[in-house]
Structure 1
Amino acid sequence: MQPVGVAAPLRVDIAEKTFRSAEGVPVTALQDLSFEVRQGEFACLLGPSGCGKTTTLRILLGVDTDFSGSFQLPQGGSNRIAAVFQEPTLLPWRTVEQNVRLALPKTMRNADLDRLFDSLGLAGMRSLFPSELSLGLARRAALARAFATEPAVLFLDEPFVSLDEPTAERLRHLLLSVWSARPTTALMVTHNLREALMLSDRIIVLSPRPAHVIGYFDVRLPRHNRSPQVMSDLLRSFHQKFPGAV
């Protein structure tokens, strides 16, 4: 029983998810996958490529309903869900600002977004169209669209994949800056261990397919204390606890 006044966590209990391959062979992607993300926590789902991380997000987003099991999204506050995908998925015929505002409920369509655009370095680009943006700037616009809705839970599916490392690193810092200013329960899919150690409060480590949780790695240090030396120590500790996991 959830204590009165305490926001419910993100709770996942997927017994099984199976799909058919192109050859018609049944493939079990997830099996006995259970975990929780506490309210206001930033967690990363970490596992090898193809293990079922994105499949898990698709189920939580309601895109894939063909599975056995259950899940509970965070409750309380806005109850809104936001997602940032590997591709920015911006409407090409809308400006950056229009793309962001289209995601808002009608009661928020006239919200003041100046601080959000400023924090993501988009203040001078609100009237540009997606074709006028670099991939890095388009990813910033996708982050702005997600945070503008003030979601109860934020899902991120490898939002910095395919970017060069300096650009990806800048965007990770921007993500942390915006999330710290308006913290929400967040679950991010990644197979980049260093990224997970930099961003998260807790790493949920998944097995190869069919995915299940093999353990947790809590990062209790404040993010501003995660220096290069500390990151090296965290990497060493992770590999000692989960040898060969990623």
Structure 2
Amino acid sequence: MNDTPPVGAEGPLKVDIAEKAFRSVEGVPLVAIRDLSFEVPEGEFACLLGPSGCGKTTTLRVLLGLDKEFSGTFQLPEGSNGRVAAVFQEPTLLPWRTVEQNVRLVLPAKERDKDLDSLFRSLGLTAVRALYPAELSLGLARRAALARAFATEPAVLFLDEPFVSLDERTAERLRHLLLSVWSARRTTALMVTHNLREALMLSDRIIVLSPGPARVLGTFLVRLPREYRKPQTMEDLLRSFRERFPEHR
């Protein structure tokens, strides 16, 4: 069990989106989300799991305030700083700034000189702090994006398939790094993925979504401590999940 107190987070993440719709080029309404309701307790790591195109990323955009055209409500965790951090599919680093400058840029002016040595060290970025994004591999750029998110000690962290397009070996290494950093700086986290094994490895709970329009089919609680999620026990978790959600493979 992880007894590290949550960083800056107070209260759960609550989501109750009645409907989110778009209009096609022809003006036809396309419903992306309908009756989507779930809750993530304070300090938990949750995954939104569902097929491609089911509305997972749209849900994150609503929660990040990037899309305000929807009906319903949501409540973000409160905290001492009220900060929200996000890690997207692309690192979105500013190419004219170094890794360290990219990370420090998100900090309030009074915190720009904050000691980040431990964070850089934990993500294996110490040796590349002075490099520019063009000099980084995609894996290192993804690490820099994680560092930028955790540097603010957010009340809630959103992740939109941050390891997509990486080879499996690199992705697995970054999943372990993410868990290591999150465990030391535990905050409420919600990650979008369509990778079941990834969700089982990372999360405390998996919120299973239907094909679009997105709604919750159910929640799978991963009660096994992360240090015991070895290959054999992962197979047991996979079987348990598929027995409950046979449509998700």
TM-score tier by shorter-chain length is over 0.9
One-letter amino acid of the structure 1 residue matched with residue 204 of structure 2: D
Structure 1 match to 2:5: none
1:66-105 matches, within 5 Å, as 66-105=69-108
SS of the counterpart of 1:92?
A: coil
Deviation at 1:129, TM superposition (A): 0.1
Structure 1 residue aligned with 2:54, among 36, 51, 54? 51
1:137 CA drift (Å): 0.3
**TM-score normalized with structure 2 length:** 0.95
Match of 1:200 among 177, 200, 203: 203
Asked if the contact 1:83/1:146 (under 8 Å) is kept, the reply is yes
Structure 1 Cα separation of the partners of residues 180 and 16 of structure 2: 31
Q: Kindly indicate whether the alpha-carbon contact (under 8 Å) linking 2:10 and 2:155 is maintained by their aligned counterparts in 1.
A: no
Structure 1: tracts of 5 or more residues without a match: 1-5
Does 39-48 or 75-84 show the bigger shift?
A: 75-84
Deviations 1:104-123 (A, max 9, x none): 11221110000000000000
- Superposed CA deviations along residues 183-208 of structure 1, whole A, max 9, x for unmatched, are 00000000000000000000000001
The equivalent of 1:3 in structure 2 is: none
Q: Deviations over 1:151-195 (max 9, x none)?
A: 000000000000000000000000000000000000000000000
Q: Distance in 1 between matches of 2:160 and 2:168?
A: 17
1:178 matched to 2:143: no
Paired positions, count: 241
Cα distance in 2 between the residues matched to 1:119 and 1:214: 36
Task: Determine which of 124, 133, 136 is the counterpart of 1:133.
Answer: 136
Counterpart contact for 1:40–1:186, Cα < 8 Å: yes
- Aligned counterparts of 1:74 and 1:126: Cα–Cα separation in 2: 31
Moved over 6 A (4+): none
Where 2:213 maps in the other structure, the secondary structure is: coil
AA in 2 matched with 1:129? Y
CA distance in 2, matches of 1:77, 1:47: 33
Of all paired residues, the percent bearing the same amino acid is: 78
Counterpart CA distance in 1 for 2:42 and 2:220 is 17
2:157 aligned residue: 154
Contact 1:207–1:245 under 8 Å retained in 2: no
- 2:124 pairs with one of 105, 114, 121: 121
Tell me if 1:240 matches 2:236. no
What RMSD, in angstroms, separates the aligned Cα atoms of the two structures?
0.9
Report the residue type matching 2:121 in the other structure. Answer: D
Q: Report if aligned partners of 1:202, 1:219 keep a CA contact under 8 Å in 2.
A: yes
CA distance in structure 1 between the aligned counterparts of 2:42 and 2:108, rounded to whole angstroms: 23
- How far apart in 2 are the matches of 1:116 and 1:221? 27
User: What SS is found at the alignment partner of 2:154?
Assistant: coil
User: Of residues 7, 23, 34 in structure 1, which corresponds to 2:10?
Assistant: 7
The alignment's TM-score, normalised by the length of structure 1, stands at: 0.96
One-letter code aligned to 1:116: L
- Residues 93, 145 of structure 2: 8 Å contact kept: yes
Aligned-partner Cα distance in 2 for 1:187–1:147: 14
